[in-house]
Amino acid sequence: MSNIQDKVVIITGASSGIGEATAKELASKGAKLVLAARREDRLQKLQAESEKSGGKAVYKVTDVTSREQMEELAAYALEKFEKIDVLVNNAGIMPQAFMFKKMVDEWDQMIDVNIKGVLYAIAAVLPSMRERKSGHIINLSSVAGHNIYPGGTVYCGTKFAVKAISEGLRQEEAISGTNIRVTNVSPGAVSSELVETTSDAETKAGLNEFYKVAIEADSIARAIAFAVEQPSDVGINEMIIRPTVQV
Ligand code: NDP
């Protein structure tokens, strides 16, 4: 039996791309999923597909930038499945552009979704995980959390922040002896709807060119499943998954 069987997994940003692929991968291994995003029609469809493939799934429309909605999501998971084993902190946006273009509203949105959303989700699940002395938090950073490039300055800043949050949380839980694992996942170019969140035409054209080498989202889903299925005393802390031909 897979170590994923019956694990209760919250996935934010489950309505497309990496989140959706992760839901499908974990459902096929018998997980109990709590799917979250803003687009309800997508979540409904994914819930039905997940149940068909052997998992159990519920969904809740959630905006990760709302602390209240994140708390309600965790409470809903506990109400439905009585525990939270894994949080896949995946929701994210990437509106990139050079800083001189002053897309300040987009900077705010990136900080709200990519950093605050990640923090609110951790705050929502950590108490019940600590109470059970068991849990696994998986944060989606990026190779943009390791390397900085022109146009990606603010996005990279948010993904460096996610990497720092992952490592700090890991150390805190390790010295606290709570048995909570933390995995920081850093994908390279992956086919998804992410590039669509870039509004600056010039930057978007460059991204579309760069993304010609992108790998499928299920490559990241398989890596996440690998981290989840390890025995509870084994923590996979950092994973970088790039297309083989990405520099
Ligand atoms: P997608 O755009 O396909 O998916 C992003 C998901 O985030 C969607 O499900 C979207 O759902 C959700 N989302 C966005 N804003 C919010 C919000 N305010 N509240 C709740 N959910 C939200 O992109 P990916 O699957 O590629 O991205 C997933 C993660 O992986 C992101 O954190 C991204 O930064 C990271 N990543 C992706 C890479 C890539 O090349 N694709 C590379 C490196 C990292 P909805 O709109 O329905 O709310």
* CATH number for the domain that contains residue 169: 3.40.50.720
DSSP label at residue 64: T
pLDDT for 199-211, tens place per residue?
A: 999 999 999 999 9
Q: Sign of the C-alpha dihedral, residues 232, 233, 238, 244?
A: negative
- Distance between Cα 168 and ligand 1 center (Å): 23
According to the model, what pLDDT value does residue 135 have? 98
pLDDT at 231 over 80: yes
Decide: 171 and 223 in contact? Cβ < 8 Å: no
- What is the position in ligand 1's atom list of the atom closest to the CA of 214? 40
In a domain, 41, yes or no: yes
For the chain, what is the domain count?
1
What's the length of the chain? 247
User: Going by C-beta distance under 8 Å and a sequence separation of 6 or more, which residues neighbour residue 111?
Assistant: 154, 158
Q: What is the mean pLDDT of the chain?
A: 97
Closest CA to ligand 1's atom 46: 38
pLDDT for residue 43 is more than 90: yes
Is residue 54 scored above 90 in pLDDT? no
pLDDT digits (tens, 9 = 90+) for 98-122: 999 999 999 999 999 999 999 999 9
User: Is the pLDDT reported for residue 137 higher than 80?
Assistant: yes
Percent above pLDDT 90 for the chain: 98
pLDDT of residue 169: 98
Q: Of 59, 76, 155, 211, which residue is the catalytic one? A: 155
Q: Is residue 166 part of a domain?
A: yes
Q: How do residues 71-100 score in pLDDT, each as one tens digit?
A: 999 999 999 999 999 999 999 999 999 999
Evaluate if pTM is beyond 0.95.
yes
The token duo for 123 is: 């705050």
ipTM confidence? 0.99
Residue type at 211 in one-letter notation: Y
pLDDT of amino acid 123? 98
Which residue's CA is the nearest one to ligand 1's atom 6? 13
> What is the domain extent for residue 86?
8-241
CA-to-CA distance for 59 and 118, rounded, in angstroms?
Answer: 18
Question: What is the distance in A from the centroid of ligand 1 to the CA of 174?
Answer: 29
149 is catalytic: no
Rg (CA), the chain: 17
Ligand 1 binding site (Cβ under 6 Å of any ligand atom): 12-13, 15-19, 37-39, 42, 62-65, 90-94, 113, 140, 142, 187, 189-190, 192-194
246 assigned to some structural domain:
no
Residue 60: other Cβ atoms inside 10 A: 19
Residue 71 Cα, ligand 1 centroid: separation in angstroms?
A: 20
In angstroms, what is the span from residue 92 Cα to ligand 1's centroid? 4
